[in-house]
Chains A and B, each alone.
Chain A
């Protein structure tokens, strides 16, 4: 009979007999949203140290892009934030269009807004489900969210041929036009969406346990959020009025009317609510785009997609992806391949404050905080 040294689980106490416990959460863990890892030091269940570890999904997308043609990187961008491939396509297209000075036809811009906002809608919906999963709710909200996402993905499949890996945008436009009847179908579907959001709201918002789990957890001040480069809903939850759709006014966003919600406290609950409110604004945007979409070409005919050679120079193009500011920094030497291709991944940079947010919280909060930042590991590790 042998008794294993159980005290070895704990670190030696520092002074007054306090013992801390080091736990490696991840890379295989149910709620790290993939292969993310956090080395956590806990005193009881309180976090005293947290160190994120990245790179388990690293495939050096940037190096691959230097090997491929300009067009050849487009399908790879699908795999960045694989929940919202279309906005990744869009960001890359915007950056290349800046680099080469390409005009985009009007219909293509409308198509981009429609598919982009559908992407935002499904991302935010799934976010509501995922954060409930992180809180230990047994998947009801997640399943409802996936149910609705499924319908949006079906729309994407009809349009682009694939549910997730769409490879849809092209330099100066999009790859294919709507098939017959698609717009009517999408419009009819979006009509039902507010009712679904109402259902989600009555399931979640107001739930006392959810409020207790989210409110007051990990507040971030506006100043800190800006300094740490947070972007997207996480930034706006801290009360910063900064939406790249408004600020840059790329595409046809200046023509459409929508509101940018922002919170006051910047805690997990605000980050949660901002997504819900943004989803409602996306519906408004979609309805306007459905009503206004003109006929015309869907891609700039001047642009040669194969053997595309932008002029020498560099450009930084960015859009407001559902996760935040997704930017591409491209350097061209005039050749068929990029000289340098860099992605500014919102998921990674939004994690900058993770340790600060988690210190002093409980272990269970770490999952909620991570969930409220809304990361996708394909983008964090690239």
Chain B
């Protein structure tokens, strides 16, 4: 695979869209897959450029996912070019915070492949993709309230009986059965 360095991509973005707020994120791992972080207000423009620029032609969004950092959520896109056979370019978009300001623009209108994956990120992380044609939960059921992939997600204590429980689970089971018996007694 011919490699396409993020620096070149960054240069192209700077040339074409001088106002776009983009920055290079250094990746210390030996993979050397440095990322480009785009401000969420500019991401639609930047994505359109990446897809259509004759030098970049990043026509294939392979992977879309969310990451929960302690103060914000992040959407990661891995872009490839099938026409030029290069990639991956890692594109990152941040939300404002983790609670209220969790909206980023959806890239589904540009790359259809982001459709299910953005829904998944919405489902599991609670990132709202603005402009997504059909933003519903993908894997969890509609009535589910929480976002299970967030780091602060607390698993429900409705464990079935486990014969080999580990310390923390024992406590949870006890708490649950106490809670259950308490609620049943109040019901009665």
Contact = CB atoms under 8 A, between A and B. Distances in A.
Interface of A: 54-55, 58, 60, 62-63, 98-101, 224, 226-231, 240, 242, 247-249, 310-318, 325, 327, 329, 331-332, 339-340, 342, 344, 348-349, 351-353, 381-382
Given A98-B30, A229-B111, A63 B148 contact: yes
B113 A55 contact: no
Given A310-B29, A313-B31, A342-B65, 10 more contacts: A101-B30, A242-B85, A329-B76, A331-B67, A340-B65, A344-B78, A348-B117, A349-B117, A352-B113, A352-B115
A101 B117 CA distance: 28
Contacts of A100: 29-30
Contacts of B141: 55
Most buried by A among B112, B137, B138: B112
Contacts of B60: 226, 229
B112 A340 contact: no
Interface of B, secondary structure class, is loop
Interface in B92-141: 111-117, 124, 137-141
B29 A315 contact: yes
Interface residues of B, number: 38
A56 B113 CA distance: 22
Contacts of A325: 62
A167 to B, nearest CB: 21
Contacts of A340: 65, 67-68
28 contacts: A55-B137, A55-B141, A58-B139, A60-B139, A60-B148, A63-B148, A63-B153, A100-B29, A101-B29, A224-B112, A226-B59, A226-B82, A228-B113, A229-B62, A242-B85, A314-B29, A314-B31, A314-B35, A317-B31, A318-B62, A329-B78, A340-B68, A342-B63, A342-B65, A344-B78, A349-B113, A349-B116, A351-B116
B139 A316 contact: no
Nearest to B87: A247
A382 B124 CA distance: 12
Which of B30, B76, B140, B148 neighbours the largest number of chain A CB atoms within 10 Å of its CB?
Answer: B30
A54 B31 contact: no
B138 A55 contact: yes
Given A312-B29, A314-B27, A58 B82 contact: no
A242 B1 CA distance: 11
Contacts of A249: 1
